[in-house]
Amino acid sequence: MDYQNIDWKSDIIKAEEAFNICFSKNVFIIEALGNTYPTLNVDNMESYIAHRCVNIHAMFGTFKNAISTHIDVLSANSFLRIFADHISTLILIYETENIEERALRHYLYVADGIEEEMKVLEELEGRPSIEETGKQLVRQEKKNKQAIQQHCIDSIRRLPLYQSYKTIIDGLINGNKNGIGKYNWKYKDLESYEVKRLRECSYSYTELYADKLSLPSVRMKNLAQYIHGLAGSVMVSNGINVEENIKLMAQYLIMSFSRFLWTKYKSLPSPIESNFLFSLVPNL
């Protein structure tokens, strides 16, 4: 659809087309980002954000193609949960107004991702079935990952913010005895962060959805049912029109992503476009 030629005052346009409108408008921004930032650099936050956005847009494209002829309920809901994870994380980290705190969350997030990769590599290295040549490759990969992770830690400790919140930030990096893991980028607020109450001061993903996407937890609970091995046992809609819910959530999530893109990259729709788009999504 050519969104440039839409009659935005018309009531003829169906609500389902909001997804396609947003996707079409986003294409131009995404292509420009890909050309502007062809390579990713962990210290160049703009390149990192650009690559995140390019990847999210690509996933939306895959989702769009996947449901064009038939909605596979399990796959569609899994996609939506992935979108919610990525977009709420994007907003939490990169819409933080304080530049230093944005850098803090960014480096913690990168280090946390590497930590998860390291667990997989360590498990591979310990397998008896892996030959020595393979283990050497795994060890080299671990060494490379550890170097990036250490770079993230060093970058955090060079932030002026670190001197003001040294004890708290060290707790975010190292984790604690109360069950919070290392590299805790999901903390809520440095000012009210108390080491003895770490769990209460950190977002769960469900809280992120509610806080950053304004998604009611009941909607996300419905999505969460479909992303694990027990999905086959929860194929009961409980009175919810499953396909309608998928379309509604897809529209809402791509509009949340689009709002991030349009605001950051100065490609805002006109007031009449914006009002129309958001009028298409009923109250969740």
Q: pLDDT tens digit string along 186-195?
A: 998 887 765 5
Dihedral angle over CA of 153, 159, 165, 170, nearest 10 = 10
pLDDT band at 231 (very low <50, low <70, confident <90, very high): low
Instruction: State whether the Cα torsion 103-105-109-111 is positive or negative.
Output: positive
Q: pLDDT tens digit string along 240-277?
A: 567 777 888 888 899 889 989 988 987 766 666 667 66
pLDDT at residue 10 tops 80: no
How far is Cα 206 from Cα 217, in angstroms, rounded to an integer? 6
pLDDT at residue 197 tops 70: no
Contact 149, 140 (CB under 8 A): no
Q: pLDDT tens digit string along 72-101?
A: 888 888 889 899 999 999 999 999 889 999
pTM: 0.84
Please, which residues bridge with residue 202 across strands? Answer: 187
Give 104's DSSP letter. Answer: H
How many percent of the chain have pLDDT more than 70?
75
Query: Could you tell me which of 108, 118, 109, 101 has the C-alpha nearest to residue 85?
Result: 109
The predicted pLDDT at position 12 comes to 42
The predicted pLDDT at position 19 comes to 85
Residue partners of 213: CB distance under 8 A and separation at least 6:
84, 87, 88, 91, 252, 253, 256
Could you identify the residue written with the tokens 């046992």? Answer: 233
How far is Cα 179 from Cα 169, in angstroms, rounded to an integer? 16
The predicted pLDDT at position 77 comes to 84
How many percent of the chain have pLDDT more than 90?
37
For the chain, where are the alpha helices, taking DSSP H only? Answer: 17-36, 45-66, 73-94, 99-125, 132-157, 160-164, 166-174, 205-212, 217-224, 242-264, 271-279
The separation between the first and the last C-alpha atoms of the chain, rounded to the nearest angstrom, is 26
| Longest pairwise C-alpha distance within the chain | 67
